[in-house]
Amino acid sequence: MLAHFSPPYLRGRVYGFHRAMDHSGAVLGPLAASAFLFFYPESYRSLFALSVIPGIVVILILLRVPDIRAKQRTEPQEPLEPREPRLTRDFWKAIAVIFAFSLGNASDAFLLLRLSDLGVAAVWIPLLWSGLHVVKVLSSLAGGDLSDRFGRRALIAAGWLVYAIVYAAFGYFDSVGAVVAIFLMYGTYFGLTEGVEKAWVADLAPSRARGTAFGVYNAALGVGGLLSSVMFGVIWTRVSPTAAFFTGAAVALCAIGLLYSLFSASDSTTARK
């Protein structure tokens, strides 16, 4: 839907804004819930009842969004686009690269476990999580816009490099101050990649096959994330946490090399009006 309603030269900004709004909710929602429980301790049933209201508001807004498929059925078919378009070779190459990176992208629960093991008190974990999402909001807004200017490949590679640095640092440092700062830096990885990857998928997929394209994209992330988390956990328990984090960093660096070997700068740059 976002790809349909956004021009190609602003698609990165649109997806970056989308991710920023999602992360804003992840900040404001828990804070609002904490404030409610501060004034009304143990009123969990009331809290869950109130949480229904934003969902209803979203549904009412969504009903105002035009139905793309219905609109396409009432408009004349474009002669240059086949009725059953196939996903392009470049799309599958992009999915292969993203899947390769996801094999080193383990669950964020391991980062929280590392923070806990190094002595960060449990009471600070939710605040750090909220702080991480604040960084995600700001970097998502910047990352999407920059990808429209300098290309998807450059921003995705920068994000993956941040990921590699964060994971290597988590494996190397053992001081609380250092890992807290690195954990907040981790938010920039999301800002440089989440919306940009989605914009890239939209760029590479034919308009009538974007639903399938995003299904394949999310499936690749899901399968890769599952395999990565299992591998990460095995290395963590059988070798060491340091080895696990270094492995994740190494996989990210390999994915960057694969990205640059399969795609040129022109392959991932959108033309601006």
What is the tens place of the pLDDT at every residue in 85-95? 688 899 999 99
Under 8 Å between Cβ of 167 and 246: yes
* pLDDT tier for residue 72 given thresholds of 50, 70 and 90: low
What's the CATH number where 182 sits?
Answer: 1.20.1250.20
* pLDDT tier for residue 67 given thresholds of 50, 70 and 90: confident
Structure tokens at 255: 């994915």
Q: For the ranges 63-72, 96-105, 237-246, which has the lowest average pLDDT?
A: 63-72
With respect to residue 218, please indicate whether it lies within any of the assigned structural domains. Answer: yes
Q: Is 4 helix (H, G, I), strand (E, B) or coil?
A: helix
With respect to residue 271, please indicate whether it lies within any of the assigned structural domains. Answer: no
For 161-200, b/e burial (b = at least 16 CB within 10 A) is bbbbbbbbbbbeeeeeeebbebbebbbbbbbbbbbbbbbb
Please state, in angstroms and rounded to a whole number, the distance separating the CA atoms of residues 221 and 194: 11
* pLDDT tier for residue 82 given thresholds of 50, 70 and 90: low
Indicate if the pLDDT at residue 154 is higher than 70.
yes
With respect to residue 272, please indicate whether it lies within any of the assigned structural domains. Answer: no
Number of domains in the chain: 1
With respect to residue 273, please indicate whether it lies within any of the assigned structural domains. Answer: no
With respect to residue 268, please indicate whether it lies within any of the assigned structural domains. Answer: no
Q: What is the pLDDT of residues 109-149, one digit of tens each?
A: 999 889 888 888 777 888 888 889 999 999 999 998 999 89
With respect to residue 30, please indicate whether it lies within any of the assigned structural domains. Answer: yes
| pLDDT of amino acid 155 | 94
Indicate if the pLDDT at residue 266 is higher than 70.
no
Under 8 Å between Cβ of 178 and 169: yes
With respect to residue 96, please indicate whether it lies within any of the assigned structural domains. Answer: yes
Q: For the ranges 153-157, 173-177, 242-246, which has the lowest average pLDDT?
A: 173-177
- pTM, rounded to two decimals: 0.83
Residue 236 domain boundaries: 2-80+89-262
With respect to residue 9, please indicate whether it lies within any of the assigned structural domains. Answer: yes
In the block, tokens 């290309």 appear at: 151
